[in-house]
C-alpha cells in the first residue's frame, strides 16, 4: 500500500481550518419582522439590590414622577422610576420606525478570530447599521415619540461626539418636533460633519459652553477657554428646557429609561445567539454613561440573577475617564452646574474635565445608577483601555470585518481581544459577544492621527 499518510494529514488539517474559518468568513443572523421583540426589559424589576433613590437637587428628597416630568416627558419619567414592571411595551409607532433598521445583524466574527488566532468564538451585535450610525436612535425614537403624543413642541439636549444629537435631530424630525442641541465645544470643532448631520435634520446646534444660557455664561466667566464637556452641555440644555414653554429635555445615556430602550439590543441578540446555537460566556460593551453596555447586557444578566447562567459582563471605559475603575461611589450631579437630580453613582466628580480623547461619547464623569449598583454588588466588571490600544484594536477589526468602528466602540473591541487572549493563554475557549455601538466613518480625522503616529 503506497498511500501517503502525511499528505492525508495535511489535507485533513487544511479541511479543519477551512471548517473553523468558512470561506464566507462572516456569518450574520437576522430576525424576521415577527420575531423582533415588542417589549423592552426593565432590569429594575429584577435587580437584587435596588439602587438608592435619585434626589431632587433643591430639596434633597427622592425625585418623583411629577418632579422628573418637569424636565422629561411624563412617560419617560414613569419608566425612570418603574421598579415593578419587568416588561414594558414598545409603542406601535416606535416599532414601525425600529423596523427601518432592525433587527440589526448579529455577526460571527470569524475573520477577527483568525486575525488574533484565538480559539474562542467572537460575535458582535452591529448597531452601526442604524440610519445615523449608532445605537443612540433606539432611545431617541421613543423619547421623541412620547414628547409628541404629550403635546410637546420642542426638544433639547446635549451631545458630545454628536451621535446623540444626530439621533435626536432625526427622531424629532420624524415626530414633527423642533430640536435644539448643545454640542460640546471641542467636538463641535473636531467633528464638523456631525454638526452638519444635525443641521440636515433641521436641528439648531450651539457649541457649549455658550453665552446663550446663564449656566454657560457662568462657566465661561470662571473658565474663558473652557473646551466644553457633557456636563456643561447638559446644564445648558436643561436650562433651556426649564425656561421654554412646550420644551422638554432628552438625554442620550445615563438615565434608567434610556438604558431600558436600549435593551432591544440584548433582547434581539439573545434570540440571534440561539439561532447560532450558542450562549455568551462573556458580554462586553464600551462605557460612556452605560446605555449601550446595559442595552446588550441586561437581558442576559437576568439569567444570572436566577442562577441559570454565569455570564461575565465587562464594561470597557477609556483610561482617560475611568469612573468605574477609579471613581467614587457617591451622590453626584449629572451635570456641571448641578441642575440634574443627584444620582447615586460611580463618579469622577461633576466638574471632572477629561482629556481630549477621540471617543467623545465616553467622556462623561459618571455612570448610570443601575450599572453603578451592579458594579458595587459584583454582578459586572470594568476595564480601562488606553486610546492607542483602542485604535489598534479598531484597525485590526476594520481589516478583518470591513467595518470601521466608532472610536467609542474600539474600546469594546479592545476588551474583547484582551479577554480572548487571556482565555487562550489559560488554554480555554469561550463564546464572547460584544456590542459594536457605532461606525467611525465620521471620525476619520481620529484615524488619520492614529495612522500618522501622532496619537497619544
Ligand X SMILES: *Cc1c(COP(=O)(O)O)cnc(C)c1O
Q: Which is nearer to ligand X, 27 or 376 (CB)?
A: 376
In the complex, the smallest distance separating the C-beta of residue 161 from ligand X, rounded to whole angstroms, is 6
Q: From CA 239, how far away is CA 293, in angstroms rounded?
A: 29
Give the nearest distance from C-beta 407 to ligand X in angstroms.
8
Size of the site for ligand X (CB under 6 A): 21
Which one of 124, 287, 300, 450 is in contact with ligand X (CB under 6 A)? Answer: 287
Alpha carbons 233 and 80: distance in angstroms, whole number: 21
Minimum CB–partner distance for residue 315 and ligand X (Å): 8
136 contacts ligand X (rule: CB under 6 A)? yes
The smaller minimum CB distance to ligand X, of residues 134 and 250, is found at 134
Nearest approach in angstroms of CB 436 to ligand X is 8
Q: Which is nearer to ligand X, 118 or 409 (CB)?
A: 409
For ligand X, which is the closer residue by CB, 161 or 423? Answer: 161
Peptide bond into 255 cis (omega under 30): no
Q: Judged by CB under 6 A, does residue 163 bind ligand X? A: yes
Question: Out of 292, 347, 372, 390, which residue is the one contacting ligand X (CB under 6 A)?
Answer: 292
- By CB under 6 A, residue 343 contacts ligand X: no
Applying CB under 6 A, does 437 fall inside the site for ligand X? yes
Nearest CA to 130 among 93, 106, 104?
A: 104
120 vs 291, which CB is nearer to ligand X?
Answer: 291
CA distance 39 to 59: 35
* Choice between 293 and 333, CB closer to ligand X: 293
Of 67 and 230, which has the nearer Cβ to ligand X? 230
For ligand X, the binding residue among 231, 318, 361, 366 (CB under 6 A) is 361
Q: x/- string (CB under 6 A) for ligand X, residues 362-381?
A: x-------------------
Position 408 contacts ligand X (CB under 6 A): yes
Name the residue nearer to ligand X (CB basis): 109 or 161: 161
Range in contact with ligand X (rule: CB under 6 A) among 27-35, 105-113, 288-296, 331-339: 288-296
The only residue of 291, 347, 387, 431 in contact with ligand X, by rule CB under 6 A: 291
Binding flag, residue 288, ligand X (CB under 6 A): yes
Question: What mask of x and - would describe binding to ligand X in positions 231 to 270, judged by CB under 6 A?
Answer: ----------------------x-----------------
The binding site for ligand X (CB under 6 A) comprises: 134, 136, 161, 163-164, 253, 286-293, 361-362, 406, 408-409, 437-438
Amino acid at each position: 500500500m503506497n498511500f501517503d499518510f502525511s499528505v492525508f494529514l495535511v489535507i485533513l488539517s487544511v479541511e479543519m481550518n477551512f471548517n473553523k474559518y468558512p470561506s464566507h468568513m462572516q456569518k450574520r443572523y437576522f430576525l424576521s419582522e415577527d420575531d423582533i421583540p415588542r417589549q423592552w426589559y426593565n432590569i429594575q424589576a429584577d435587580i437584587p439590590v435596588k439602587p438608592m433613590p435619585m434626589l431632587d437637587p433643591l430639596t434633597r428628597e427622592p425625585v418623583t414622577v411629577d418632579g422628573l416630568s418637569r424636565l422629561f416627558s411624563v412617560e419617560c419619567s414613569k419608566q425612570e422610576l418603574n421598579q415593578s414592571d419587568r416588561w414594558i411595551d414598545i409603542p406601535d409607532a416606535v416599532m414601525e420606525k425600529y423596523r427601518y433598521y432592525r433587527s440589526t445583524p448579529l455577526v460571527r466574527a470569524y475573520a477577527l478570530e483568525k486575525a488574533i488566532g484565538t480559539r474562542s468564538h467572537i460575535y458582535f451585535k452591529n448597531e452601526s447599521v442604524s440610519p445615523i450610525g449608532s445605537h443612540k436612535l433606539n432611545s431617541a425614537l421613543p423619547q421623541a415619540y412620547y414628547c409628541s403624543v404629550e403635546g410637546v413642541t420642542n426638544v433639547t439636549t446635549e451631545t458630545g461626539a454628536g451621535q446623540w444629537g444626530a439621533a435626536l435631530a432625526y427622531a424629532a424630525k420624524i415626530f414633527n418636533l423642533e430640536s435644539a442641541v448643545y454640542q460640546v465645544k471641542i467636538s463641535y470643532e473636531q467633528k464638523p460633519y456631525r454638526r452638519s448631520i444635525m443641521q440636515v435634520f433641521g436641528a439648531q446646534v450651539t457649541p457649549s459652553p455658550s453665552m446663550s444660557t446663564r449656566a454657560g455664561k457662568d462657566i465661561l466667566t470662571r473658565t474663558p477657554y473652557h473646551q466644553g464637556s457633557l456636563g456643561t452641555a447638559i446644564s445648558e440644555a436643561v436650562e433651556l428646557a426649564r425656561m421654554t414653554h412646550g420644551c422638554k429635555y432628552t438625554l442620550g445615556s445615563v438615565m434608567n429609561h434610556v438604558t431600558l430602550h436600549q435593551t432591544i439590543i440584548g433582547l434581539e441578540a439573545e434570540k440571534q445567539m440561539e439561532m447560532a446555537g450558542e450562549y455568551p460566556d462573556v458580554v462586553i460593551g464600551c462605557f460612556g454613561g452605560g446605555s449601550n453596555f446595559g442595552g446588550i447586557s441586561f437581558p442576559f444578566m437576568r439569567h444570572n440573577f436566577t442562577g441559570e447562567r454565569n455570564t461575565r459582563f465587562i464594561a470597557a471605559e477609556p483610561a482617560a475617564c475611568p469612573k468605574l475603575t477609579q471613581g467614587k461611589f457617591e451622590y453626584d450631579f449629572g451635570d456641571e452646574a448641578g441642575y440634574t437630580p443627584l444620582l447615586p453613582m460611580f463618579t469622577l466628580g461633576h466638574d471632572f474635565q477629561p482629556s481630549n480623547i477621540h471617543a467623545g461619547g465616553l467622556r462623561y464623569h459618571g455612570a448610570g445608577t443601575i450599572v453603578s449598583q451592579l458594579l458595587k454588588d459584583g454582578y459586572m466588571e470594568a476595564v480601562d483601555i488606553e486610546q492607542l490600544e483602542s485604535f489598534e484594536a479598531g484597525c485590526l477589526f476594520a481589516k478583518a470585518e470591513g467595518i470601521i468602528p466608532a472610536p467609542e466602540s474600539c474600546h469594546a473591541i479592545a476588551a474583547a481581544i484582551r479577554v480572548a487572549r487571556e482565555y487562550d493563554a489559560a488554554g480555554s475557549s469561550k463564546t464572547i459577544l460584544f456590542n459594536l455601538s457605532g461606525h467611525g466613518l465620521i471620525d476619520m480625522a481620529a484615524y488619520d492621527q492614529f495612522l500618522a503616529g501622532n496619537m497619544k
